[in-house]
């Protein structure tokens, strides 16, 4: 009997390794596609490869960078909360949160690195010509510091030095939180773009990070169980239910904040009202109502509340909806802010500029998601015991 159980366990391990290897090949192909898109842009010129123009300088790729960076912040904050406040149900999930926070941030770096024409300038001039009055300088500095601290934290977790890991984890969470709100300030400080301008956006980014991080925790944990074909342990199931409840609270708050954002937009300037119209009943209305609001907020909220957080499958489906909705939320935010011409009313300008992502832009998005997927699979293959709760005890 014992021999049969051992053989079954060995067969399950081999099947899991085979599935992971196949998925790793797929994610490597996705990364290759993204790198190919970046090389193509360097050869033909970014102004030919991407749909951005002088009038519309930002597009989908900036939104995807913000999307991944925000998810990373949420994962990091969730891990820090579990350790600092000793939230026992979250502790079995914390190590995977730290690992994924690193991986998702590297995915964001991949997208922005392939998107800009001279990516090597940022790390060079961050050090040689610091500009402390620039939001972009602080963004690069804080995210670079955050990923370094998180790597140190994970190394210490892996080596069993948990108290030191918690210290670096808290420092990394502070760096991520500052970087996240600073990223919001990159948009919010632009007075020439009324759709972004104001003090709400940095806090909205932080709330979106907590929502996205909770969804990423649920989805990654469920996918891990699917890959291993193991049942959820009672501790993990309890943790997922708690994260699901937290996700529902954040869904409600984001719905509330979004409602007031657009109500107040119609009380603002003409440019702000026209930008809001682009999403409510203009060229971005399908993306806004169908994906950001319907799929990304309303449906997952109804799903998790109606199932009372007891179904891992329902939680996973809701988490996927949230992450898809947040993708479109970042897209709508970026494009909605620049789609209105700055000199509307002069020289026969249209009410809304046209924008459609190019093939090269889609390839870069695929490459960034490939980095995230590949990193997730590396973690599931190399740190299985660590993610199953070992070294996750209260410290």
CATH number of the CATH domain containing 270: 1.20.1630.10
Tens-of-pLDDT digits for all 395 residues of the chain? 445 544 445 445 554 667 888 899 999 999 999 999 999 999 999 889 999 888 899 999 999 999 999 999 999 999 999 888 888 888 889 999 999 999 999 999 999 999 988 888 888 888 888 899 999 999 999 999 999 999 999 999 999 898 999 999 999 999 999 999 999 999 999 988 999 998 899 999 999 999 999 999 999 999 998 888 878 888 889 999 999 999 999 999 999 999 999 999 999 888 899 999 999 999 999 999 999 999 999 999 999 999 999 899 999 999 999 999 999 999 999 999 999 988 776 767 788 999 999 999 999 999 999 999 999 999 999 888 888 754 444 44
Tell me whether residue 350 is in a domain.
no
Domain assignment present for residue 359? The answer is: no
CA separation (Å) from 199 to 196, 207, 253? 9, 14, 17
Q: How many domains does the chain have?
A: 1
Q: Is residue 207 part of a domain?
A: yes
Query: Within a domain: residue 262?
Result: yes
CA dihedral 322, 326, 327, 331 (to 10 degrees): 150
The dihedral through the CA atoms of 323, 329, 330, 335 has a sign that is: positive
6 part of a folded domain: no
Question: Which pTM was predicted?
Answer: 0.93
Q: Which two tokens stand for residue 375?
A: 């990193």
Domain of residue 27, residue span: 19-341+367-381
Integer Cα distance of 319 and 304 in angstroms:
9
| Helix 91-115 with 162-188: angle, nearest 10 deg | 40
Alpha carbon 229 to its chain's center: 26
Residue 253 maps to a domain? yes
Q: Are residues 306 and 278 in contact, defined by beta-carbon separation less than 8 angstroms?
A: no
Local structure of residue 52 (DSSP, 8 states): -
Q: Where are the alpha helices (DSSP H) in the chain?
A: 2-44, 46-49, 60-84, 91-115, 121-128, 135-159, 162-188, 200-228, 234-265, 270-280, 285, 299-306, 312-338, 359-382, 384-387
The answer to the question of residue 348 being in a domain is no
Give domain status of residue 205, yes or no. Answer: yes
The terminus-to-terminus CA distance of the chain in angstroms comes to 39
């Amino acid at each position: 009997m014992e021999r049969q159980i051992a053989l079954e366990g060995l067969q399950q391990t081999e099947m899991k390794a085979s599935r992971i290897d196949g998925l790793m090949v797929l994610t490597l192909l996705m990364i290759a596609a993204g790198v190919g898109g970046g090389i193509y842009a360097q050869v033909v010129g970014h102004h030919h490869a991407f749909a951005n123009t002088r009038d519309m300088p930002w597009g989908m790729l900036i939104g995807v960078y913000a999307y991944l960076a925000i998810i990373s912040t949420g994962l990091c904050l969730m891990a820090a909360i579990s350790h600092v406040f000793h939230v026992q149900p979250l502790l079995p999930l914390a190590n995977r949160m730290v690992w994924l926070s690193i991986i998702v941030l590297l995915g964001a770096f991949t997208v922005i690195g392939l998107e800009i024409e001279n990516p090597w300038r940022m790390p060079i001039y961050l050090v040689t010509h610091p500009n402390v009055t620039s939001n972009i300088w602080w963004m690069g500095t804080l995210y670079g510091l955050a990923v370094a601290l998180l790597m140190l934290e994970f190394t210490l977790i892996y080596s069993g030095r948990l108290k030191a890991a918690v210290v670096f984890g808290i420092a990394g969470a502070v760096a991520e939180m500052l970087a996240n709100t600073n990223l919001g300030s990159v948009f919010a400080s632009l007075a020439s773009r009324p759709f972004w301008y104001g003090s709400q956006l940095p806090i909205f980014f932080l709330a979106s990070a907590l929502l996205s991080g909770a969804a990423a925790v649920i989805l990654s944990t469920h996918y891990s169980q699917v890959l291993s074909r193991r049942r959820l342990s009672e501790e993990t199931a309890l943790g997922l239910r708690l994260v699901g409840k937290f996700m529902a609270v954040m869904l409600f708050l984001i719905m509330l904040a979004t409602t007031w954002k657009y109500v107040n937009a119609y009380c603002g300037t003409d440019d702000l009202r026209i930008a809001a119209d682009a999403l409510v009943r203009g060229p971005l209305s399908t993306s806004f109502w169908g994906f950001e609001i319907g799929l990304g907020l309303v449906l997952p909220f109804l799903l998790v509340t109606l199932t009372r957080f007891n179904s891992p499958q329902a939680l996973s489906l809701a988490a996927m909806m949230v992450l898809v909705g947040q993708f479109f939320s970042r897209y709508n935010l970026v494009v909605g802010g620049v789609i209105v011409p700055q000199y509307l009313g002069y020289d026969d300008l249209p009410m809304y500029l046209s924008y459609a992502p190019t093939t090269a832009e889609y390839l870069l998005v695929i490459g960034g998601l490939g980095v995230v997927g590949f990193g997730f699979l590396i973690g599931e293959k190399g740190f299985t015991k660590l993610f199953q709760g070992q070294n996750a005890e209260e410290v």
